[in-house]
């Protein structure tokens, strides 16, 4: 009996010691990750996981390991870690969102779609999942489903600027130009110095054959962000369509001075002659 009690006490002590080391490794790994010592953090997370491979807390460790690997550029390893995390916690919305965003980053939209759907099964009002599932529907040309998700998103949070812009883009794709314009106008009333909104509305104005309005918005965008080479290229294209070749050439040359490779604008510059 004494031997049995001794063995039980010894095993308990060893278990407590292992748990203490596991916690210590995890905390040190988090500190390393926060200080951008990413390779050390990866090593420590892996060491902790080997120490207690069945610990339910490993869902968090695998998730953190995946994020560290992602930051290191080890995307395949990160996917494997996120998947391991979901084996422990299959209904974890944050982990589903992390893996979905990585799938999107890697061009695997179909797999990202599944994760966003699963996240929304758990949390029907998750804004990130609604936003990116709508984006995937938009890319698939499933406009009805995209509109459903965008509308649900902006009803949940009318201040979600990305969702509102997504809805406007959807209407533009469908050639519902007036609806798209109304959204851009409303957004610019409250965000008059948002250069992305100005450029988006300019694109709509060009598509609807209102180049003067597009120039007005691009002028405003350039005043707000004079170092953006892309804006000069956009304005140069508008000038070129108006046969204002001197102004177009000046904008293309300005874009080149700001870093756009001359070869990228070679054909446009030829049209300015």
Please give the distance of CA 266 from its chain centroid, rounded to a whole number.
Answer: 32
For position 10, what pLDDT does the model report? 32
Per the CB < 8 A criterion, the answer to whether 76 and 63 are in contact is no
Per-residue pLDDT reduced to its tens digit, 56-115: 888 888 999 999 999 999 999 999 999 999 999 999 999 999 999 999 999 999 999 999
For position 94, what pLDDT does the model report? 95
For position 11, what pLDDT does the model report? 38
For position 19, what pLDDT does the model report? 62
Per-residue pLDDT reduced to its tens digit, 202-223: 999 999 999 999 999 999 999 9
For position 205, what pLDDT does the model report? 97
Per-residue pLDDT reduced to its tens digit, 145-156: 999 999 999 999
Per-residue pLDDT reduced to its tens digit, 26-64: 888 888 888 888 899 888 889 888 888 888 888 888 999
d(CA 64, CA 90): 16
pTM: 0.85
Per-residue pLDDT reduced to its tens digit, 119-133: 999 999 999 999 999
Per-residue pLDDT reduced to its tens digit, 251-268: 999 999 999 999 999 999
For position 211, what pLDDT does the model report? 95
């Amino acid at each position: 009996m004494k031997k049995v009690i001794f063995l039980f006490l010894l095993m308990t002590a060893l278990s407590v010691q292992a748990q203490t080391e596991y916690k210590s490794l995890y905390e040190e790994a988090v500190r390393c990750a926060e200080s951008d010592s990413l390779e050390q953090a990866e090593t420590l997370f892996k060491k902790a996981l080997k120490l207690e491979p069945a610990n339910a807390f490993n869902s968090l460790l695998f998730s953190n390991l995946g994020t560290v690997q992602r930051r290191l550029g080890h995307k395949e390893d990160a996917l494997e870690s996120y998947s391991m995390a979901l084996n422990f916690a299959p209904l974890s919305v944050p982990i589903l969102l992390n893996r979905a965003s990585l799938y999107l980053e890697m061009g695997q939209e179909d797999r990202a779609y599944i994760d966003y759907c699963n996240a929304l099964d758990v949390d029907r009002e998750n804004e990130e999942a609604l936003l990116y599932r709508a984006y995937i529907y938009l890319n698939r040309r499933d406009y009805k489903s995209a509109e459903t998700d965008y509308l649900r998103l902006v009803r949940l949070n009318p201040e979600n600027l990305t969702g509102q812009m997504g809805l406007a883009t959807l209407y533009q794709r469908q050639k519902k130009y007036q609806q798209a314009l109304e959204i851009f106008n409303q957004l610019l009333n409250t965000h008059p110095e948002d250069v992305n909104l100005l450029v988006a509305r300019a694109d709509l104005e060009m598509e609807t054959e209102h180049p003067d309005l597009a120039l007005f918005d691009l002028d405003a965008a350039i005043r707000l962000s004079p170092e953006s080479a892309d804006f000069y290229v956009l304005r140069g294209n508008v000038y070129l369509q108006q046969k204002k070749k001197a102004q177009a050439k000046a904008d293309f040359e300005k874009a080149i001075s700001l870093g756009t490779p001359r070869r990228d604008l070679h054909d446009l510059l030829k049209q300015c002659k």
